[in-house]
Structure 1
Amino acid sequence: MDILTKIKNKDAVIGVLGLGYVGLPLALRYSEVGFKVLGFDVDQGKVDSLALGESYIAHIAGAAVASACANGLNATTDFSRAAEVDALIICVPTPLNTYREPDLSYVIDTIESVIPYLRQGQIISLESTTYPGTTEEEIQTRVEKAGFKVGEDVYIIYSPEREDPGNKSFSTHSIPKVCGGITPACLEVGVALYGEVIDQVVPVSSTKVAELTKLLENIHRAVNIGLVNEMKMVADRMGIDIFEVIDAAATKPFGFTPFYPGPGLGGHCIPIDPFYLTWKAREYGMHTRFIELSGEVNSAMPEYVVSKLVDGLNEAGKSLKGSKILVLGIAYKKNVGDMRESPAVQIMQMIQNKGAHVAYCDPHVPVFPKMRKYEFNLKSVRLDKESLEIYDAVVIATNHDCFDYDLIKEKSLLIVDSRGQYREFANNIIKA
C-alpha cells in the first residue's frame, strides 16, 4: 500500500481535527517526530494562537507549540483543506445531552465537513470516546455512501485517546495505544500510523472492541470511585477517616487498588462514559444497574459537600444564605486548568442558588470561562491572610499544590475539605 510507505518515510501529512486537550498533544507529537501536521478547529482563537506559536492549554508548554510551528505545524478553520492530508484523526468532544444521552453532533458534523473532500488512500481515525458501533454506524456508513470502499479506497480505524492532563509520569508517546480497524487492511494501516509516534500500539480485532475498551477503562474508575465515595459517607457517620482506611488497605500487595473519594467526578470521560454504555445497552435489552448506581452516587457528591457546608455554618450560628463562601480550586483535577464537567462548578452553582455570595480562587483558571451550563462573571481572587478572613467558609474542591494549606488552616473560619487535604481533626475543619 502506498500509504504505508508514506507513513514509514514520514511523507504522510497528518490532519488532526479538534485541537483541544487530546488533539493538540497528538499534533505536537507527530510534528516532533518529523511529520507535516495540519490542525483543524472551528475555534478561530485556537488557530490564531497556533499561528503565533502560543499555547492555550495551561499544562502544554508554549515552547513545545512554538517548536512545532517552526517545524511546519499549521492550523486552519477551513475543512476543505482535508484533501491535503493523508490521515484525518478526529479528536472532538462527545458530551451528553440534557437527557444524559450521547451527543455525537461534533463527530457527525466533523465527518460531514470532510466527506466532500475525501480522496483515495486517506485514513480516518476516530479518537473520541463513544459507544460500541459508532465508527461503523456514523463514519463507515457515510464514507461508503460517498462511494468509497473501506479497506481499499479509504482506511477507517478507531483508536481511543488516553490523555491524562497534567500527569507528568506519562506523555502521549509513552501511553499504550489501542487500535481497531474496520477491515484487516484498516488495522494494518492504523498500527503503522500510530506506531510512528507511540511506543506501544495494541491491536484489537475490531473497532467495537476498541470502543468498548475505552468505556471499560473509564467505567472501571467511575465504579470504584462511586464505591469509595459511598464508603466515605459511611465512615463519616462512624467518625472514621476514610483516607486513613484507604492508606492502610493499600499496604496489601495484591487484590486491592486504592481509589480516593472527592466532591464528584470531573473531566470529559469519567462522568460521561458510563452513560454511553448504559444508553447503548438498552438497544440489547440490558439494564446496567451496577454502572448506573455508581453514577448516582458520584452525581450526588456535590450536594453532599454543600450539605456539610450547611452543617458547619449552622454549628457556627450562621445560615448559608447571605454567607460569603470561597471555593478553592474549580478545575476538575489538581494542577491543571481543565474545567470540563468539574464538580466544583456544580458546588458553586448550588451555593449561589441557596443565596450565598460565592467567590473562587484557582491560579490555573484566572477568569471563569464560558461554559454551556454555567455562567459566573467572576475572576480568581487572591489567597492571602486578609482575603481568607472575609469569608465565612472555604470549600476545598480541588487541592492544587500551589495553595498554601498552612495559611488556609490558620486564617479560615471554617474549612470544608472534600479532598482529604487535612488528615488531622481541627475545630475549623469539616471533612466532606
Structure 2
Amino acid sequence: MKAQSRPKSNSLAVRVTAAIRAQESRIGIIGLGYVGLPLACLFAECGFAVTGFDIDPAKIRQLSAGKSYIKHIGNRRIAPLVKAGTLAASDDFSGLAAMDVIVICVPTPLTKHREPDLQFIVKTGETIARQLRRGQLVVLESSTYPGTTRDVLKPILERTGLKSGRDFFLAYSPEREDPGNTAFGTAAIPKVVGGDGAAALKLATSLYDRIVIRTVPVSSPETAETIKLTENIFRAVNIALVNELKVICMAMDVDVWEVIDGAKSKPFGFMPFYPGPGLGGHCIPIDPFYLTWKAREYGINTRFIELAGEINTAMPHFVIERLTHALSAQLGKALKGARILVLGVAYKKNVDDLRESPSLHIMEELERRGARVSYHDPLIPKITPTREYPGLTGRRSAPLTARNLASTDAVLIVTDHEAVDYALVGQKAKLIVDTRNVMAKAGIKSSKLVKA
C-alpha cells in the first residue's frame, strides 16, 4: 500500500515570506496620517521600498517635496527617504496592484449616534479589491470592533474570486502610536498580530519582525482587535476614575494632583493617571464605544465602560462651571460677554493634533453661552476643518503677549504645551483656570489661579 503523502506547504506563502525576509517586498500604506506616515517612514528606514497612498493631494505634494505636515515627524526624517527613493507618495490607487504588502491605516470614527462608522474601511477594501492579486498580504491597523477583519474586510476582498489563505493573506495588527512620545516611537513598541489562518499569521509576524522590537502573535484577528480596545478602555476607565476623584477633591478643597503624586510613591498596587478637561485624540474617546456596540450583539450591557464614558464626557462642562464660578467670585463678571483665552487646542501637549480635542467642545460651548473666545496654541496656528465643530474652522491662534493677556478676563489652560511662557501668563493674566496643573508644575503660585 502506498504511503499517504503529507500535504504540501503553501508554496505561495513561502515565496511571500522569503521576499519579506529579503526586504524585497514593496510596501503600500493607505492613509498617511498620524499612524500611516510614521509607519511608512519606519518601513523605508528599514530598507523597504514604500509608497504611501492618500486621498488628500496636499499631503501627496508635501511628501513628494520631502516635507512633513506632522510636526513631531519633521522634514529631517522625510526628506532623506524621498531623496533616496525609498519613500514615495501617491493619490493614484491603481498603484496598489504593484504592492506586495498593503497596510490599511484609515480613520474609524463614530456616527452621531456613537456607533462604529466603518465607511473608510469599507471604501478602502473596495479600492484594494479592484487591484488585488495573488500573493499580496493585506494588514488592517485601524482600531475597530472584534470581527471587522474577518466579517467586513475579508468578504469585500473575496468578492474578487480570490480566497484568503490561498490566494492572498489577511491579518490584523492594531496601531499603538502615541504622537509626541519620544521614549516610545513606532519601532520601540511591540506589535500584536492576528492572522486569518496560520499562513497569514506567519507572514504578518515576519513582516513586523523586520521593523519593530518584538512581535506578539495571537490566535486570531478577533483577539488582536479586542486587545487594542482593551488597552484604550483601560485608560479611559482609569482617567474617568481620577476625573471623578477630582470633582470630589475640589469639593473638599483637596488638591487631587497632590493626592495622585503622593499615592504613586507606593511601589506596588497603584498606577498614576491624571485628570483633565475631557478626553481627546482618536483612540480613547472612541474605542470604548466600539466594544460596547459589539457587546449589545450578545445581549451584554457594558455598564462600567459606559459610566466611564459619561464621566469623561462631562468634564468639559465641569471645567466651564469652574470658570464661570471663578469669573464671578474673583472678578465679579458673568461668563456672558467675558473675554476668554483658551490656551491650547491640541488634544495633548506637544503635538499638533486636534482630533477629538476637548478644547473645541469647550470653545463652542463658551461661545454658545455668550463668551468672547480666542485661543493660543504654538503648534496649531489655524483650526483645520472638523465634522463636529465647523463654526471654529479657520480660527487663528492669537499671539501670547502681555497686551493680549491683560485685555483678557480669564485664561483657560486646556493643553499644557511646553512651548508656552507660563511665567508671562502668571504675571499678566487677571484670572487663570488650569485644567492640567501646569502652573504648579512650573512652580508658579498666584491668588489668580484656580484649578479645574
User: Which category describes the TM-score, using the shorter chain as reference length?
Assistant: over 0.9
Could you tell me how far apart the structure 1 residues matched to 2:65 and 2:319 are? Answer: 42
Q: Which residue of 1 aligns with 2:4?
A: none
| TM-score where L is the length of structure 1 | 0.99
Q: Distance in 1 between matches of 2:84 and 2:211?
A: 16
TM-aligned CA deviation for residue 425 of structure 1: 6.1
- Identity score, percent: 51
Question: In the alignment, which residue of structure 1 is the partner of 2:45?
Answer: 32
Post-superposition CA distance 1:41-66 (Å, at most 9, x none): 00001001011010000111101111
Q: State the Cα distance separating 1:75 from its structure 2 match.
A: 1.1
Task: Kindly state the Cα deviation for residue 175 of structure 1 after the two structures are TM-superposed.
Answer: 0.4
Corresponding residue for 1:397? 414
Residues 1:361 and 2:376 are matched in the alignment = yes
The code of the aligned residue for 1:85 comes to M
Offset at 1:422? 2.8
Q: Runs of 5+ in structure 1 lacking a partner?
A: none
- Residue 304 (structure 1) aligned with residue 318 (structure 2): yes
> 1:244 aligned to 2:264?
no
Asked if residue 346 in structure 1 is aligned to residue 361 in structure 2, the reply is yes
Please, which of 81, 84, 100 is the counterpart of residue 68 of structure 1?
A: 81
Alignment of 1:19-418 (within 5 A): 19-72=32-85, 73-315=87-329, 316-374=331-389, 375-376=391-392, 377-418=394-435
The residue identity in structure 1 corresponding to 2:402 is: K
**Equivalent-residue separation in structure 2 for 1:176 and 1:213 (angstroms):** 13
Q: Secondary structure at the match of 1:117?
A: coil
2:448 matches 1:428: yes
The letter for the 2-side match of 1:144 is E
374-383 vs 113-122, which moves further: 374-383
Contact 1:40–1:79 (8 Å) recurs in 2:
yes
CA distance in 2, matches of 1:311, 1:23: 43
CA distance, structure 2, for counterparts of residue 203 and residue 229 of structure 1? 35
TM-score (norm 2): 0.94
Indicate if the aligned counterparts of 1:19 and 1:41 stay in contact, CA closer than 8 A.
Answer: yes
Aligned length: 432
Residue pair 2:146, 2:222 contacting (<8 A) in 1 also? yes
CA contact (8 A) 1:31 1:71 kept: no
Classify the secondary structure of the residue corresponding to 1:360: strand
Is 1:18 the equivalent of 2:38? no
Aligned counterparts of 2:264 and 2:445: Cα–Cα separation in 1 = 22
Quote the Cα distance in structure 2 between the aligned partners of 1:93 and 1:357: 33
Whole-Å Cα distance in 2 between the matches of residues 333 and 60 of structure 1? 16
On the 8 A contact 1:322/1:356 being kept in 2, the answer is yes
- Give the Cα separation in 2 of the matches to 1:67 and 1:216: 37
* Mean Cα deviation higher: 384-393 or 158-167: 384-393
Contact 1:125–1:158 under 8 Å retained in 2: yes
Instruction: State the match for 2:21 in structure 1.
Output: 8
Deviation per CA, 1:23-58: give whole Å up to 9, x if none: 000000010011100111000010010110100001
Letter in 2 for 1:45: A
Deviation at 1:317, TM superposition (A): 1.2
Residue 121 of structure 1 aligns to which amino acid in structure 2? G
Q: CA deviation at 1:230?
A: 0.3
* CA offsets 1:152-179 (integer angstroms, 9 cap, x no match): 2111000000000000001111100000
- 1:190 partner SS: helix
- Tell me if structure 2 keeps the 8 A contact 1:225–1:260: yes
Contact 2:71-2:351 within 8 A present in 1 as well: yes
Shift of 1:141: 1.3
Task: Name the amino acid aligned to 1:218.
Answer: N
2-structure distance, mates of 1:190, 1:49: 30
Runs of 4+ in 1 over 6 A off after TM superposition: none
Kindly report the root-mean-square deviation, in angstroms, between the aligned alpha carbons of the 2 structures: 0.9
Distance 2:336 2:134 in 1: 63
Q: Which has the larger radius of gyration?
A: 2
Letter aligned with residue 279 of structure 2: L
SS in 1 for 2:186: coil
In the alignment, the residues of structure 1 paired with residue 156 and residue 33 of structure 2 have an alpha-carbon distance, to the nearest angstrom, of: 25
**Partner amino acid, structure 2, of 1:289:** R
CA distance in 2, matches of 1:65, 1:422: 35
1:300-329 deviation line (CA, Å, top 9, x unaligned)? 000111111110111121111111100001
Cα distance, 1:133 vs structure 2: 0.2
Q: Which amino acid aligns with 2:403?
A: E
